Amino acid sequence: MRSSSSAAIASKPVPEGGEVIDATGKFLIPGLVDLHNHYRDGLEEWAWGLQLHAGVLTVRSLGSDHGQTPAMIAEARAGNVPAPRIFTAGVGFSHPEGFPPGKLGPATEEEAREMVRELAAQEVDLIKMWVDTFLDTRPKIEPGIRAAIADEAAQYGIPVSAHVFFEDDVWQLVEAGVRSFVHGVRDQEVDDEFVAMAQDNGLTFAPALGQAKTFWWVAEHPELLDDEEFRAGIQPPAFERLLDPGNRAAMLESESTARRRVAYDYVTKFVRRMNEAGVVITAGSDSGAGNIAYGWGTHHELEALVEDGGLTPLQALAAAGAAAAAELTGDPDFGTVADGKAADLVLLFADPLADIRNTRQIDRVMQAGVWLGRGLPAFPQPAD
């Protein structure tokens, strides 16, 4: 993947003591950026090891940082634990009885503001809120509380990202000041007015298409159970359930899966519409949720963006590169291969522009100028 910038880099003299790698016939891409991840208390090093192996070198942790996870993120940022570059939302917001459980659930606007202030004191990188009924079984966070969260976050200069399902919630959240969204409109097709609003307000969407179809994808493609990287990134109890043909059949036959298929049709049309209109689409795998394996899930998301979302392979690489990096910080030094940028690089055996699935054909991974030793970490065993 040669460009004018890569040609300029190639023409520079090699610094004294620099290493020269013969990459003839190979393809260089930036370290991948994944904007949607959930890490589990006690499993952080395992998850990060899987992501480093897969060339995922920058991640955003979206609202599930309980237990020891904040301390582990601090250790990773200090360089004491091997991990990608991490941006965190701490613990996210939902309705007190809403989806998902275990999140901040303010009952009043003032309580919401106080919780935002506490997160600001923790120096989180963003605020996350879930605005979803989870198949109409749980209440959504009220509009007034959403607005209070967004307004208080703005006082501290903290961006807000919202998990959405319904179109009307996007309109209300945009009015409240939210510009970053995960998932997308899944209840109907959007019209020209919505498209214009998204363009005018500079909205971004990380649709998590791979996660959205996980409820039937493995059942329809049991060969994934033989995929070493998929197997390595799923917690053993969940993987054992997937091995059972009866469980896979139930996944295909359930009413919730039927409803999710309808929602998937809407969201893939949504992504195509947004992308064609120039609205920014970014890569967020929702790894750690459902059957999305860390590391593997990022590559699966790239494939879904191309095959189902209509992005070109080059657009998908931008979604996990420059576009995702720009979502995280105003002047990123990662997400691109260019002079003066961080040396987060993935060297591939095959051309990802010919087939986006070739992002999985990894030869070597460099993080901050250092080649990583690659290998799939084992799931941690419980302490005796």
Express each pLDDT in 119-131 by its tens digit: 999 999 999 999 9
* pLDDT at position 2 over 70: no
* The pLDDT value given to residue 137: 87
* The pLDDT value given to residue 15: 76
Tell me the pLDDT band of 19, cut-offs 50, 70 and 90.
confident
The residue-averaged pLDDT of 359-369 equals 97
pLDDT digits (tens, 9 = 90+) for 88-116: 999 999 999 999 988 999 999 999 999 99
Tell me the pLDDT band of 341, cut-offs 50, 70 and 90.
very high
* The pLDDT value given to residue 136: 82
The residue-averaged pLDDT of 17-27 equals 88
* The pLDDT value given to residue 10: 59
* pLDDT at position 5 over 60: no
- Whether the CB-CB separation of 334 and 31 falls below 8 Å is answered with yes
Fold category of 24-88+184-371 in CATH: TIM Barrel (3.20.20)
Tell me the pLDDT band of 290, cut-offs 50, 70 and 90.
confident
pLDDT digits (tens, 9 = 90+) for 272-287: 999 999 999 999 999 9
- Whether the CB-CB separation of 146 and 131 falls below 8 Å is answered with yes
The residue-averaged pLDDT of 24-39 equals 97
The residue-averaged pLDDT of 18-36 equals 94
Tell me the pLDDT band of 14, cut-offs 50, 70 and 90.
confident
Structure-token match 């994934």, residue found: 224
Give the other-Cβ count within 10 Å of 289's Cβ: 17
The residue-averaged pLDDT of 131-139 equals 89
Q: 85 forms bridges with which residues in the sheet?
A: 58
> What are the C-alpha distances in Å from 21 to residues 12, 14, 28, 53, 57?
15, 11, 12, 19, 21
The residue-averaged pLDDT of 232-254 equals 95
Strands 160-164, 180-183: pairing is parallel
How far is it, in rounded angstroms, from Cα 339 to Cα 15?
14
* The pLDDT value given to residue 16: 79
- Whether the CB-CB separation of 342 and 57 falls below 8 Å is answered with no
Half-sphere exposure of 274 (CA within 13 A, CB side): 31
* The pLDDT value given to residue 383: 59
- Whether the CB-CB separation of 77 and 105 falls below 8 Å is answered with no
pTM of the entire predicted model? 0.95
Residue 164: closest CA among 288, 275, 36, 320: 36
The residue-averaged pLDDT of 306-322 equals 98
Tell me the pLDDT band of 3, cut-offs 50, 70 and 90.
very low
Q: Name the token pair of 131.
A: 């605005």
* The pLDDT value given to residue 135: 81
pLDDT digits (tens, 9 = 90+) for 187-225: 999 999 999 999 999 999 999 999 999 989 999 999 999
* pLDDT at position 58 over 50: yes
How far is it, in rounded angstroms, from Cα 178 to Cα 200?
13
Q: Name the token pair of 59.
A: 């991640």
How far is it, in rounded angstroms, from Cα 342 to Cα 319?
18
